[in-house]
Structure 1
Amino acid sequence: MIVRIMGEGQVRLADSHLARLNEFDDALSAAVERGDEASFRLTLHALLDAVHEQGEPLPDDALEPSELILPARGSTIDDVRAMLSQSEEGLFPG
């Protein structure tokens, strides 16, 4: 699966990593719902770090369709709340 991190590029990620990333997604959604800025920031960074660690970055000149789009590291809680409102599943499906 190809994941785009806004402002950072694309990463190829094996489906086998989705269960672990869904844990971060659930924690991020909960932090957004509570309005917990500190937890939100820590969880967003942990999620993006995990995607980078578990994925393979695509070259900058590669332009493949992204199956998932993740917020930028500097996104606000309101930015992510807006992204989450567009899906009932969070940022990751499942």
Structure 2
Amino acid sequence: MLVVIGLLLIVVGIQLRRGKWYGIVAGNTFKDKPIEVQKKGAIGASSIAFLVGGFLIIVYILMFFGIQTRFLIIPVVVIVIVYSMFAIYKYLKHFIKYGK
């Protein structure tokens, strides 16, 4: 199941990078926005899809070879928390500056 979901996320990331499937991005209000904004949103979403898909495949490979994956929990949680805080800061800064 990890491989299937990982590969699915990688396919979604590829399609978003190609400029397809904008409609699956959460909070999609791109229809009324310029193409540059659409591409920027899709690139951000595709980066996350690649990251999570690759992580799931790596976890599967490690589990397949019998390597404990518990050591991955702390670094991944720290990376996710730091990235989330950065994304929230960036969004709030943009919202305060432009009001949208």
Shorter-normalised TM range: 0.3 to 0.5
- More relative contact order, 1 or 2 (CA 8 Å, 6+ apart): 1
Query: Normalised by the size of structure 2, how large is the TM-score?
Result: 0.31
* Structure in which a larger fraction of residues adopt strand: 1
Larger Rg: 2
Query: Normalised by the size of structure 1, how large is the TM-score?
Result: 0.33
